[in-house]
Structure 1
């Protein structure tokens, strides 16, 4: 009986852990903006591919206590004020000059999943005027980047670049989630690059993950590994 109980608990924990991994934090904002015009930014948690946006009250651990930042063309990093909604948080910023703006989140959940620490990261770019975004503008430890995101079109190949500690992240799995529920997994090459061809218009969310097996302590608890999941959100028009 004890063995059966232990097996049942193991299966339950495995399911919970898998559910946590399936969930992600992502940002939704328009890819272009205007000087002097307010730019809305929304942050969701759930499963984009299943069109599931969890109620804020059900977000994992203390994920809802994340901070949202914007980095402007002058590289100034500013924290944005968050307003909670039913299933998202919303913030607003007003671009004061032409150039590229990057909004981002980097939050380590307080609660461990067994002996694993979870680190949620997310970013999105806003172009004001004619500008390009450099990957280095995103200060997150794990990130995805798309060159010329405003030029992305259906049926046109698109390059995704993954970075870990600002170096090309080779051999990483990138999950691509489309606006109609289609999903695909890619693997980055030696330059941290993976390609796919979007087929539909709408918002895409892409995610890259990494597992660091260095142990440590987090809020007084021992962990054996750190899981990082970084999303990048953009629109195909």
Structure 2
């Protein structure tokens, strides 16, 4: 039995690692906003494709202390105060001008797992009034980004082109997971230019997820890590 104990411990570590990489942080907010009207924002941790939104008390490490940033149409970056609910970190902001507002999260967890640093990234956009149909990736400082290339709205049955950037460069061969509100999901691989397309079949909120794993050592939160796992999400609304 003694020889089996290390084996079961190893399986436990693998299970924990798989659970963390399957889980993600994502942002939910209405796709369109109005000047002078408060825009509610919620941040979840769990598995969107399974309809699982974990209670905050079960969030990994210090995720509940994540920072939510708002980048306005003029490039002004503001930290949004958050409050903790039962299963979400909540915030709000009030648009003061037309344009595209970017919501962003980049959080490196306080705790390492087997020497691996986990970084949870998320973004979403709010479109107010007349805006450009092109999302500007330069508005985000997130090292890993996944986002739809064009459009302030997307329709069911119409192809959506998605791009993945890592350190501002197109990431070829990256796996993109697409989760729909119906529970349908699909796994796609980006082309040389970092893009991939899919057709949303149902209206509702979709979540895109891309990940990156690096064995380059580094330092975060005072910890020296041997490897870095990054998971990045983007949520957007598909209409009928």
TM-score by length of 2: 0.96
Secondary structure class of the residue paired with 2:118: strand
Please say which of residues 219-228 and 38-47 is displaced more in the overlay.
219-228
Q: Which runs of 5+ in 2 are unaligned?
A: none
What's the CA shift for 1:220? 4.4
Alignment coverage as a number of residue pairs: 237
Residue in 2 aligned with 1:165? 167
Kindly report the root-mean-square deviation, in angstroms, between the aligned alpha carbons of the 2 structures.
Answer: 1.1
Residue in 2 aligned with 1:67? 67
Q: Deviations over 1:37-84 (max 9, x none)?
A: 111111000010110100001100001100001000110000001011
Residue in 2 aligned with 1:122? 122
What's the CA shift for 1:116? 0.7
Residue in 2 aligned with 1:208? 210
Measure the CA separation in 2 of the matches of 1:220 and 1:152. 42
Asked whether 1:99 is paired with 2:102, we answer: no
Measure the CA separation in 2 of the matches of 1:85 and 1:54. 11
Measure the CA separation in 1 of the matches of 2:225 and 2:105. 22
Residue in 2 aligned with 1:141? 143
Measure the CA separation in 2 of the matches of 1:211 and 1:190. 19
Residue in 1 aligned with 2:3? 3
Residue in 2 aligned with 1:232? 234
Please say which of residues 192-201 and 134-143 is displaced more in the overlay.
134-143
Secondary structure class of the residue paired with 1:150: coil
Residue in 2 aligned with 1:197? 199
What's the CA shift for 1:89? 1.1
Change in 2 beyond 3 A, CA 1:223/1:23: same
Residue in 2 aligned with 1:20? 20
Q: Of 151, 154, 157, which aligns to 2:153?
A: 151
Measure the CA separation in 1 of the matches of 2:222 and 2:128. 44
Residue in 2 aligned with 1:54? 54
Q: Which runs of 5+ in 1 are unaligned?
A: none
**Contact 1:72/1:102 (8 A) holds in 2:** yes
Secondary structure class of the residue paired with 2:57: helix
Residue in 2 aligned with 1:90? 90
What's the CA shift for 1:135? 1.6
**Contact 1:149/1:234 (8 A) holds in 2:** no
Measure the CA separation in 1 of the matches of 2:238 and 2:177. 17
Residue in 2 aligned with 1:178? 180
What's the CA shift for 1:236? 0.5
Measure the CA separation in 2 of the matches of 1:219 and 1:100. 32
